[in-house]
Amino acid sequence: MIVLGIETSCDETAAAVVDGDGRILADEVLSQIDDHRPFGGIVPEVAARAHLELIDGIVDRAMGRAGVEFSDLDAVAATGGPGLIGGLLIGVMTAKAIATVRSMAFIAVNHLEGHALTARLTDGLDFPYLLLLVSGGHCQLLAVEGVGDYRRLGTTLDDALGEAFDKTAKMLGLGFPGGPEVEKAARSGDGSRFPLPRPMKGREGADFSFSGLKTRVRQTIEGLAQGDLEDRDVADLCASFQAAVEDVLADRTANAILTFRGLHPETSLSSPVLVVAGGVAANEAIRKRLKVLAAEKGFQFVAPPPNLCTDNAAMIAWAGVERLKLGMTDDFDFKARPRWPLDPDAPPAPGAGVKA
């Protein structure tokens, strides 16, 4: 079984080829970061135009690298949502066109499902497992119970965590995307210098909130700023921000671990697993903290390699493989969905950015 995957939901134009055994035959990602950098954030119209220009070339490149012909493919999977509608339409249309011309299956993949199933591609995990999904557009804790079967245990009430990293970086005059910049600056900083708040810590449940933290970062900068900030101030503030984020993630994830144990007592006794995925999961300090938490709670800890944590098409192709094995293909009347919750039974997220 061989599946071509296409990812265009945000600012990466990506195509990948993955086989039924989880071998990644090609994994091509073109980041549009340079197009968006002057704006300090992602501009939907700029993204849509770039996807349109790049999509054919990246599909060709992935097929070439994989050394396969279209006639070798069993299905084409594309991110069908959630995300920015312009990009989604381009990816879905491209996949449908290839599938129509070559008479093969079309599969619309939920972007969050792509992130959620990556740990099965990289580590061959069995269901169920607990997932912390932290990226630029989403911030959720989920019980991953099967393909297409997810239970949301917590979500953000305002910003996604990656967004909070990006905004903090912007306020400090660091580059975009902000996560890696804040992480780098934090390495030489003193995380105890600024007592930033830990929103939601100690509260019941597993929801998140980051807007208060962001506001306090801004106020702290305003309090410091007499002319330019010193490098030391930037480093200390980044370290303090990261320390606050680590505390919040550990607290919320600990609560979700309790809920997960209640839902899956048998798995919890034998071999429970905590997975972290999404762009923010590339952060070493966060990984380390979650690893310690998992060990304390008797959970195995799995974090896919950073290039499979940030947006990519291998995860979409792999979700396509998983779905194809179960006969879960889609009709050509599938419409791209800017909002597409993984758990339809969970109450709507109040404000989780473009990708709730």
* Min separation Cβ 281 and ligand KG4, Å: 8
| Contact letters for ligand KG4, residues 228-247 (x by CB under 6 A) | --------------------
* Residue 193, burial from CB neighbour count under 10 angstroms (0-12, 13-18, 19+): middle
* Min separation Cβ 119 and ligand KG4, Å: 14
Residue 310 touches which of Zn ion, ligand KG4, none (Cβ within 5-8 Å per kind)? ligand KG4
| Contact letters for ligand KG4, residues 294-333 (x by CB under 6 A) | ----------------xx----------------------
Report d(CA 53, CA 48) in Å as an integer: 9
* Min separation Cβ 224 and ligand KG4, Å: 22
Nearer to Zn ion, 9 or 94 (CB): 9
Residue 320 touches which of ligand KG4, Zn ion, none (Cβ within 5-8 Å per kind)? none
**Alpha-carbon 100 to chain mean position:** 30
Q: How many CA atoms are closer than 13 Å to the CA of 13, on its beta-carbon side?
A: 27
Q: Contacts with Zn ion in 127-166 (CB under 5 A)?
A: 135
Which bin fits 124, alpha (ψ -120 to 50), beta or left (φ > 0)?
A: left
Please pick, from the candidates 27, 311, 322, 330, the single residue that binds Zn ion as defined by CB under 5 A: 311
Residue 280 touches which of ligand KG4, Zn ion, none (Cβ within 5-8 Å per kind)? ligand KG4
* Min separation Cβ 309 and ligand KG4, Å: 7
Spatial contact of 58 and 330, defined as CB atoms under 8 Å apart: no
Please give the backbone phi and psi of residue 312, each rounded to the nearest 5 degrees, phi first.
-160, 170
Asked if 135 is part of the footprint of ligand KG4 (rule: CB under 6 A), the reply reads yes
Which residues make Cβ contacts (< 8 Å) with residue 191, sequence separation at least 6? 236, 239, 240, 242, 243
Which residues make Cβ contacts (< 8 Å) with residue 342, sequence separation at least 6? 110, 112, 113, 116, 140, 142, 150, 152
| Contact letters for ligand KG4, residues 174-193 (x by CB under 6 A) | ---xxxx--x----------
